[in-house]
Amino acid sequence: MRIGVLTGGGDCPGLNAVIRAVVSKSKIHYEWEVFGIKNGWAGFVNKNIEELTLESVSGILPKGGTILGTSRTNPFKEEGAAEIIVANAKEMGIAATVAIGGEDTLGVANGLCKLGMPCVGVPKTIDNDLGGTDYTFGFDTAVNIATEAIDRLHTTAESHHRVMVVEVMGRHAGWIAVHAGIAGGADVILIPEQPFQVTEVCALVKKRHARGKSFSIVVVAEGAKFQHEGDIDGSIITQDVEVDDFGHVRLGGIGNILGKEIERQTGFETRVSVLGYVQRGGTPTAFDRVLATRFGIKACELVEEGEFGKMVALRGNKIIAVDMEEALEIKRVDMDLYDLASIFFG
Ligand code: F6P
């Protein structure tokens, strides 16, 4: 049998660990041929594929990014593109595809399954916001990078008696902000799930300074929402008006706006650090390497069992199969965890 493997959406530490596991299990255990589809779904449209061997995946386990390349191509946006993918997969003899990606990539895999193309999913995102699984790989690495950054910013904040605003990733959910914020001892954490008023943030900072502290660390997720009076939902801050193939705007910039307001309203000197893509790059942590490897092996087992339309998932300490649709439900931050974090605010 010949199977395909692809990576779609934003890159993420651990993608190569999954690819390696899929190739190793397929070749050693099942004696399947494995083809890598280049640059996400785009590679299926233009038949850009390469055979993967045990040699070609040797040494990639600790490498960040993806050896297959990635893109945010959505074949369901272009008339007839999804049908071309189904036909090309058949023509290239690819009997099943392992799609490694987030809500967008897995949404496409699910749609293609419905058109008769056998796919299984592997959940990936540093944001950890996919339903059906306790954790996605990449998240642990991002949290560790953000925590180290907060630790480093602490020393400058303390020495200069400043407020430090740290903007971390997190489009729909504030998992990175909450985990890194708790681990790094943040004094305020702002997340998309809980719209905030700047006056409330300033009150917390002032309260802290009033009890003798001369610095504060404010962690804000890029998708957090500013709330004005009477505006319950709040508004996000975007970098431009353009959207990608899946209708997502480019977020970013909330940290700078917030930092200026904190300085204006409190009078405390404030600086801003935007962590951005640093959180998504580089070598995966041991946790992410193990999770990615377990996901890759289980994905092959699902292919062997003909369990198409399913996604591998971590529940407790077990790797299980769930319907791919479950991943498409956004997993928001557990508010009990946020409440725990807020004990340390102000
Ligand atoms: O989904 C992961 C993520 O890093 C989000 O946190 C962020 O909003 C988005 O991807 C950025 O995407 P891009 O790589 O297209 O700028």
Residues framing ligand 1 (Cβ under 6 A) = 10, 102, 125-127, 169-171, 222, 250-251, 280
Which of 73, 128, 171 gets mutated to test ligand 1 (max ligand atoms within 8 A of its CB)? 171
Which of ligand 1's atoms lies nearest the C-alpha of 171?
8
Q: What's the predicted TM-score (pTM) here?
A: 0.97
Ligand 1 centre distance from Cα of residue 10 (Å): 6
Taking the C-alpha atoms of residue 311 and residue 14, their distance in angstroms, rounded to an integer, is 17
Other Cβ atoms within 10 Å of 230 Cβ, number:
5
Active-site annotation holder among 127, 140, 187, 288: 127
Burial of 318 (0-12, 13-18, 19+ CB in 10 A): exposed
Phi-psi region of 328 (alpha: psi -120 to 50; beta: other; left: phi over 0): alpha
Ligand 1 centre distance from Cα of residue 267 (Å): 33
Ligand 1 centre distance from Cα of residue 155 (Å): 28
Would you state the pLDDT for residue 69? 98
The residue whose CA has the least distance to atom 15 of ligand 1 is: 10
Phi/psi of residue 286, each to 5°? Answer: -60, -40
User: What residue ranges of the chain have pLDDT lower than 50?
Assistant: none
Would you state the pLDDT for residue 231? 83
Would you state the pLDDT for residue 109? 98
Q: Is 127 an active-site residue?
A: yes
Would you state the pLDDT for residue 341? 98
Which of ligand 1's atoms lies nearest the C-alpha of 170?
6
Would you state the pLDDT for residue 233? 87
Residue type, 336: D
Q: Does residue 16 contact residue 22 with C-beta atoms inside 8 Å?
A: no
Would you state the pLDDT for residue 15? 98
Q: Which domains does the chain have, with CATH numbers?
A: 2-137+284-328 (3.40.50.450), 142-279 (3.40.50.460)
* Bridge partners of residue 122, in order along the sequence: 100
